Structure 1
Amino acid sequence: MLQLAAHDILGCCVQCLVLGAAIYKTWRDSHRVGREFSYVIKKEKKKVFLCRLWDIISVRAGLKKVPWDGYLNYSRHSPKHRDRKTEKFFFLNCTTGQLHVGTVNLATEGEMIPCVPNALISSVHDSNGDQQQDAMLLWLEEHACRLENGMIKLREERGTRSISLFPEEPPFCSTAITNGVKVRASAVFVPEIADLQNENAKYTSSYSIRMSLQREGCIINGIPFSSCQLKWRHWIIRANDHVESDFNGEAVIGKYPLLLPGEREFVYESCTPLPTSLGSIEGSFTFVPGRLADPKGAPFEVEVARFPLQLPDYIF
C-alpha cells in the first residue's frame, strides 16, 4: 500500500501509474524467451521486480510506503468477514496475458475473476498479433486514465490521502438535489469478498453516499433554514429489474449527520451482495429542518437517484 504524501497528489498518482506501466513493459520485453515470458530467469524474479517497482514509485512520487493492514478500507464488513482480514490478490497469467483477482474462495477453491476484457488482450502466443498487449499494461493504463479524467479521485481520510475507486462521474455516479440537499452516490465491485458459488450473493458491491447542504441552505416552500439533520433512510435494491430489498431504517451506519451550508460532504460507505452481476440502488433520506432535538419544520424527503451495481469490465 502506498500512503500519499505529496503536494500535487493527483499528478503524482497519474505519473506513478504511467511510470509503472513503462517499467513493467521494459521489464517484460527484456525477459522474453522467444515469444514467451520467463518469470524465473535468475536475473530478477517477479517478486523482486514488484518490490523494486514499489520502491521506484515511492521515491519518484514522494510517497511513503506503509504496510497494508489487510482490511477493505471505507467499507463495512458483513459478519462473515469481520473476524478475519480480507486481502486482495492479483495474478498475471504469463501464457494468456490475462490479469486475475482472487475471490473469497481463492484459498480453498482457487476461484478468480478476470480483471480486463479478454477481447483487448493479445497473447504472446498469438501468431496473428504484431504486438503483445497483456492485461497488466491495459490495467495500469486504464487506472491512470480514470484518474486523469476525473472518473476516480483522491480523498483524505483522517490525515491520509488515498485513491478512492468510487466513480465520480455519470453514468456510474448519480446526483440529486432536493430542497438544497445534494446527494451523490456510486458503487464499486469488491472482488475479494465475492462468492461465485453462492447463488444468492455472488457479487458484492461497496457503495458510497456523499451528502451536503448547498450554500443557500435548506429551502422548503421558499423558507430557508440554516441546517437540517438526517433521521431516516429508504433503500430499494434491485438485481437486474427484480427488487431484492425494500428497506426502511433510522440513521446511516448509526449516525444522524447534521448538514450545514458549505461544509464538506458527509460520506459513508456500506456493502450489499447481489445474486446477479447487474443491479442498482435508489431511495431517499428523510431530513428534519434544523436539528432532531430542535426541529424547525416538518420532515422532508431527499432523493437518492438510482446508481448502478455491476461487475465492471476492469476490476481494480
Structure 2
Amino acid sequence: MGQFKLLLFAWCHNSRNYLGIVVDCPSTHSSHILHHVVQLQPQSYRFVDKGLFGDFFTTYVEDLVSGRYDVHNDIISMLPNSGPHTGTSISRGIRTTVSVMFCPDETPAYRVYRYQISFEVLDFAALGFASAQLKSRHWLIHYQDQQQTQSSGHGVVGEFPILSEESPYYRYCSRMTDDELEGLMLVALEGYFTMVPGTLEEPAGPDFTLAVPYTEVPIPMEIL
C-alpha cells in the first residue's frame, strides 16, 4: 500500500479478501479515507472503501442481529440475505435466495463476483413430499449491450443436496466473472434449479423447478 498503513482485523472467506482500517495515509487522502474500513485484495492491493469504521461496524452489527447476514459454523457470511443485489422466490414451500457480491481478485483481466444460493423448506405440506433432492441447475447470464449466455449442469459444486425434515436448509457459494473472451461486463443473473421429489435414486413424483429471480450484480467502485 506504499504510504498507507492498515490495521487488518478480519478475513472474508467468501471474497478471500481482508477487512482493515486505514490508520495512516498521505495528507492528500486523509479527508476521504483515513479511519475508513477497506476491503483489501491481498495480492493486487486493490481495495474498496467501506466507510468510516464506526458507521461500518454499527450497520454490520444491526444487519447481523436482523438476520440480513448469517452465521454458519461460527463463520459470519458477508453475503446478505436481503437488500440490493439479492433476490428471493418461494415455490412448493421452498424459499430460494440468491445474493451477489463483487470481489477484488488477483486476476486483473476480468472482474469476479461471488454468489450464494440458499434453499430452505418453509412448509412441507406445500412441498407435498418428505424430501426433495437437487438434480440440476440452469443459468441465464446477462452481460452489457444486452448480450446473454446460458449454462446448465448437474448438481451444484459437485453436490446433490437433499432437503428433508432433518436437513431443511442448504446453501452453497460459487463465482461468476465478466465475459473473459469478449470482455463484456457482467450485469445480472437468473435461472432455476430442477428438483426431484424424494431422491434421485427413488423419485416420488415429477420434477419441479425453483426459480432464481433476475438479480443485478453490484457495480465495482474500486480505488486502484
**TM-score computed with the length of structure 1 as normaliser:** 0.55
What RMSD over aligned residues (CA atoms) do the two structures have, in Å? 3.4
Post-superposition Cα deviations, 1:12-44, rounded to whole Å, max 9, x if no partner, equal xxxxxxxxxxxxxxxxxxxxxxxxxxx9xxxxx
Corresponding position of 1:131: none
Q: 2:130 aligns with which of 226, 242, 251?
A: 226
What runs of 5+ residues in structure 2 fail to find an aligned partner? none
SS at match of 1:268: strand
The Cα of 1:269 is off from its aligned counterpart by 0.3
Change in Cα spacing, 1:147 to 1:288, as seen in structure 2 (3 Å) is same
Q: 2:140 aligns with which of 236, 250, 253?
A: 236
CA distance in 1, matches of 2:103, 2:116: 13
Match for residue 294 of structure 1 among 197, 202, 212: 202
- Residue 218 of structure 1 and its aligned partner are, at CA, apart by 5.0
- Determine if the alignment matches structure 1 residue 173 to structure 2 residue 83: no
C-alpha distance in 2 between matches for 1:139 and 1:314: 18
- Deviations for 1:92-120, whole angstroms, at most 9, x for unmatched residues? 334213255554762xxxx624414xxxx
User: 1:283–1:304: 8 Å Cα contact kept in structure 2?
Assistant: yes
How many residues are paired up? 207
Which structure has the larger Rg over C-alpha atoms? Answer: 1
Shift in CA distance, 166/314, structure 1 to aligned 2, threshold 3 Å: farther
Equivalent residue number for residue 260 of structure 1: 164
- Per the alignment, residue 189 of structure 1 pairs with 102
Higher helix share: 1
Letter in 2 for 1:225: F
User: In proportion to residue count, which structure has more strand?
Assistant: 2
Does the 8 A contact of 1:231 with 1:251 survive in 2? yes
Deviating beyond 6 angstroms after TM superposition, the runs of 4 or more aligned structure 1 residues are none
User: One-letter code of the match for 2:90?
Assistant: I
Percent identical across equivalent pairs? 24
Structure 1 residue aligned with 2:72, among 145, 156, 164? 156
Matches within 5 A, 1:1-316: 50=7, 73-74=13-14, 88=18, 92=22, 93-95=25-27, 96-97=29-30, 98=33, 101-103=39-41, 106=44, 112-116=46-50, 135=51, 138-149=52-63, 150=66, 152-157=68-73, 161-193=74-106, 195=108, 198=109, 201=110, 203-217=111-125, 219=127, 224-240=128-144, 242-261=146-165, 263-274=167-178, 279-311=187-219
Show CA shifts across 1:203-254 (max 9, x none).
21110000122233454xxxx2121111010011222463453101100011
In the alignment, the residues of structure 2 paired with residue 284 and residue 314 of structure 1 have an alpha-carbon distance, to the nearest angstrom, of 31
Q: CA deviation at 1:139?
A: 4.3
Gap regions ≥5 residues in structure 1: 1-38, 40-45, 55-66, 76-85, 117-134
